[in-house]
Amino acid sequence: MDSGEFPWGKLKDATGVMFRHDEPGKFIDWHPAPRRQFIITLSGEVEIGLGDGTLRRFGAGNVMLADDLTGQGHTTHAVSDVPRVSVAIPVD
């Protein structure tokens, strides 16, 4: 997961959009991102586990760039008491 170097304020091409609904407590074990994509949390909260032991939490309105396409990847855990709804927007 990276929020580093990105040309903010510039129009980016997107190849589609996908919405997700995860019930509270849903856990997805280690996996790489399927493609480079923005993930925007619309409701609920998610905790992302990184390989170095870092845990990052994202709530409604937070945007992250998932670009860990190789290796172990990350874990995903819906941690709030309401469903997590998110949108994934693939980018080139």
Per-residue pLDDT of the chain (92 residues; tens, 9 = 90+): 444 566 667 777 777 899 999 999 999 999 999 999 999 999 999 999 999 999 999 999 999 999 999 999 999 999 999 999 999 999 87
The CATH architecture that domain 18-90 belongs to is Sandwich (2.60)
Q: What is the reported pLDDT for 13? A: 77
Cβ–Cβ under 8 Å, residues 57 and 80 = no
The C-alpha R_g of the chain, in whole angstroms, comes to: 13
Where are the domains positioned within the chain? 18-90
The encoded tokens of residue 20 equal 């997700």
Q: What is the reported pLDDT for 6? A: 61
Q: What is the reported pLDDT for 4? A: 54
* Degrees to nearest 5, angle at CA 39 with 70 and 23: 100
Q: What is the pTM of this model?
A: 0.82
Q: What is the reported pLDDT for 91? A: 86
Which residues sit opposite 63 in a β-bridge? Answer: 40
Q: What is the reported pLDDT for 76? A: 97
Q: What is the reported pLDDT for 11? A: 78
